[in-house]
Each structure stands twice: as structure tokens, then as C-alpha cells.
Amino acid sequence: MEIPPHTRLVALLGDPVSHSLSPRMHAAAFRARGLPWVYVAFRVRPGDLGTAVAGLRALGFAGANVTLPHKVAVCQLADELDVSARRCGAANTLVFSEGRVVAFNTDVAGVRRALDEEGVAPWGLRVAILGAGGAARAACVALGEAGAGVVTVVARRPAAGEALCARMRDDFPRTRFEVCPFEDAALRKALREADLVVNATPVGMYPKEEESPVREATWLRPGQVVFDMVYNPPTTRLLRLAQQAGARTVGGLSMLVHQGAESFELWTGSPAPTDAMKRAVGLLPAGV
């Protein structure tokens, strides 16, 4: 592909990346703003992340998005972490400026704005977060900032869950953070008690759309909100089970758009065209 002069480049680094809607979404955003920018996706193995980041910086890229499994590791490669990335201990956006790498976590804003759009106010709520990785860290920070009452981190590796909770307790002493093992009985109890359930694992993501971190609709209940951070497919098996249980659902596409909008603004300095980004991923019909 020939790159025209004066074109700015940004990248997505992850493994896998073939499922990602970010290239389509950001291409639409650049077109809407008339910016000569190009967004490309690179599959990067964990052992090659340092080389990849150094290569982007050497090639003059303006920045990058970082997705699974690199959100925690990339923090060690940055020269500076903003408040969101420092609180999370994870980053999903890099800005290359004057030879420095600055890391941000725009997933925090993505979680908060996705819930805002659905009228979900986390203040005082009991929340169950499934997972203890980079996405779960962003969810914990967003919910701590919003004043959630109790956040239960359901983790397959209890040590990782406890480390995450300990980190959050220091920053958000008014929210109670606790750990729950990812075992059927404990999971069912945590889910039934929660006002808001957040799936921060990749379970259910394309191409394994028929998987779910929750086995049965009876594990959920009417009146609660179930938010799946997975966006491909737009309606995951978890969300279908939640609908069967009578719960309200929030899909991951809204979070994708809002975290992407903040990344766009960090890179370009221009307001993000969120409607164009929503149309690109199917949240708005064409022409709206």
C-alpha cells in the first residue's frame, strides 16, 4: 500500500486483531473530519511487543491502540502514564510525542459513557466484575470513580483478583472491593446479589460466540443490568441469557465507540465525530 505524503499513521497492537472493528471505526472518523490519517492493525505476539512499540515510534507513527493480551505489559514500555493508566496499571492507548511514549487508558471513559448512555448510575450499586485482567481494571476504576458501593471481582486466579482489589482500595476507599472465586456456587451468589454485572473477560468473543462466562439465565435476575464489554458479536450469548432472565443489557459497541473517541482526540486534537463512528460499527443506521 502506497502512503501519500503528509499522512499520519496510527496502529492497533494485539493478538488476535482480525475481529477488531477499530480500523473501520477510525477510518470513518478520519474521513468525517477530513484528516489524512490511516489506522492499521498488527497482530503482535506477547514476546514481540517491545519491538513493535519501538518500531512504531521509529517509523513516526502518531500513536496506537493496544488490546488483548498487551494492556498490562505495555505500561512497562511507556515513558509516562496518565492518571487513568496509572490507576489501572493497564493502558489501551499510546501517544508518541517528541520521542516519548505516553500511555492512557481510554477504556475507563468508555465504560463510564456506555453506562451513562443507558441511564445506569453506578453510585451505591453492588457490582460483579467477571475477570481480573486489563479490561477489569478499567471497569474497576470507572466504577470506583462513579462511587459504586461494592465491587466484587470474580477471578479465576484469586491472587490476581486480590492484587487488583488491593490496588483499587488505595484509590477508592469509599467503595468496598472484594474477591470471589470463579466457581459455580460462588459465581451464582455474586451474580444474584449484583445490581450490575460486567463481563470483562473475552469469553463469548468471535469466533467463539456460543461461549458465555454465565452458564444459565437462572444465574441472573430481573431488574439487574448486564454489561458485556465484548463487542463482536454485538449481542453475545451472555446478553441473550440476560434478556431471558429479564435483565437490562448493555453491549460492548457503545464502549468501543467511546473509548475510541477519546483515543481519537488524544491523537488528533480534534473533537471525535461519534455519530460517524457509531454508524461505522452499526450502532446508528447509515444516513442518520
Cα 197 to Cα 220: distance, rounded to the nearest angstrom: 9
Residue closest to 134 by CA, chosen among 111, 101, 113: 111
| Cα–Cα distance list, 195 to 125, 181, 230 (Å) | 6, 19, 19
* Residues whose CB is less than 8 angstroms from the CB of residue 48 and which lie 6 or more positions away in sequence, other chains included: none
C-alpha cell read off for 115: 453506562
The verdict on whether 71 is a catalytic residue reads yes
Do β-strands 100-104 and 93-97 pair in parallel, antiparallel, or remain unpaired? antiparallel
Torsion (CA) 51, 270, 103, 204 in degrees, nearest 10: -80
Sign, Cα dihedral of 257, 16, 74, 129? positive
Q: Are 23 and 41 in contact (CB under 8 A)?
A: yes
Which backbone phi and psi does 269 adopt, to 5 degrees?
75, 5
In the three-class reduction of DSSP (H, G, I as helix; E, B as strand; rest coil), residue 138 is classed as: helix
| Cα–Cα distance list, 6 to 35, 36, 108 (Å) | 10, 7, 32
Q: In what order do the strands lie in the sheet with 93-97?
A: 37-43, 8-14, 63-66, 93-97, 100-104, 80-81
The active-site residue, picked from 71, 189, 208, 278, is 71
Sign, Cα dihedral of 40, 41, 44, 46? positive
Which backbone phi and psi does 146 adopt, to 5 degrees?
-85, 0
Q: Determine the residue type at 153.
A: V
Q: Which residues are catalytic?
A: 71
